[in-house]
């Protein structure tokens, strides 16, 4: 039976990945900081779907947490077939208002952890001739959006480059770029989303379905829903000054998990 390791697995898009994969008969390794929530999620998934669920408590904004997950991914006796790098967080305020320590924690989690965990997982997958990595980014990657957008832009560029380097090995990499998604993400970041129209919101289940479909098709970037595909296409063509105006009004709200 295949095994998937999911970071940030107790809520939002991570939890939706866990449910979908468990339903499909995949064993799970769930990673998050909150051991109590992890245990509850594991028990619920195991009871509903009968799948094997392992938990690993780790804070991926720390070296110790990253190293613990690296070791699990590199264990040849317990191979991981799919890695979902989903853990992340948003910041309500802008540059020079947010404490530098929080900016550095974001870089650690969104960039270093993604790089190190992907690097730990892929050699075994390549040796076996199969496997996949989904790195969760955001449509904010395509807007001037401070450290959050910059870190997610790195995720997209890294994933596309690594996907090209691994072409023909049987290992697929996908950058998932959702827009507004109904999760706990914005509440945790203390961002007021009341002005965002209902038509802009996606369900976490829809995001996951699109991601797994695009991964199976061999795509390296997935932007769920036509509305966000159009938005990203427009953003890529718009002058930087115009994007800056959009970002200052709404871009901060594009943090999505």
Active-site residue, from 17, 142, 148, 228? 148
Helices of type H across the chain? 12-23, 35-49, 63-73, 100-107, 113-128, 146-165, 185-189, 204-216, 226-237, 240-250
- Rounded distance, CA 101 to CA 226, Å? 37
Per DSSP, the residues of 7-48 read ESTTSHHHHHHHHHHHHTT-EEEEEES-HHHHHHHHHHHHHH
Residue 63 DSSP SS3: helix
Respond yes or no: is residue 228 known to be catalytic: no
CB 156 within 8 A of CB 137: yes
Q: Which residues are catalytic?
A: 148
């Amino acid at each position: 039976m295949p095994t998937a390791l999911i970071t940030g697995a107790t809520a939002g898009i991570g939890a939706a990945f866990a449910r979908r994969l468990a339903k499909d008969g995949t064993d799970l390794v769930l990673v998050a900081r909150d051991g109590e929530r992890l245990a509850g999620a594991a028990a619920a998934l195991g009871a509903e779907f009968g799948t094997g669920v392992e938990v690993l408590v780790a804070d991926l904004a720390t070296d110790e947490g990253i190293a613990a997950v690296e070791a699990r991914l590199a264990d040849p006796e317990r191979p991981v077939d799919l890695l979902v790098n989903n853990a992340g967080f948003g910041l309500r305020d802008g540059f020079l208002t947010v404490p530098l320590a929080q900016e550095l924690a974001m870089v650690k989690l969104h960039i270093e952890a993604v790089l190190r965990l992907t690097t730990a997982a892929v050699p075994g997958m390549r040796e076996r001739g199969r496997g996949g990595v989904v790195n969760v980014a955001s449509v904010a990657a395509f807007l001037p959006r401070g450290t959050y957008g910059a870190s997610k832009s790195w995720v997209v560029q890294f994933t596309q480059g690594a996907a090209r380097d691994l072409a023909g090995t049987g290992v697929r990499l996908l950058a998932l770029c959702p827009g507004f998604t109904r999760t706990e993400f914005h509440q945790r970041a203390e961002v007021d989303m009341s002005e965002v129209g209902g038509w802009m919101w996606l369900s976490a289940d829809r995001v996951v379905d699109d991601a797994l479909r695009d991964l199976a098709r061999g795509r390296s970037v997935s932007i769920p829903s036509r509305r966000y595909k159009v938005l990203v296409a427009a953003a890529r063509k718009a002058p930087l000054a115009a994007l800056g105006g959009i970002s200052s009004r709404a871009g901060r709200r594009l943090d999505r998990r």
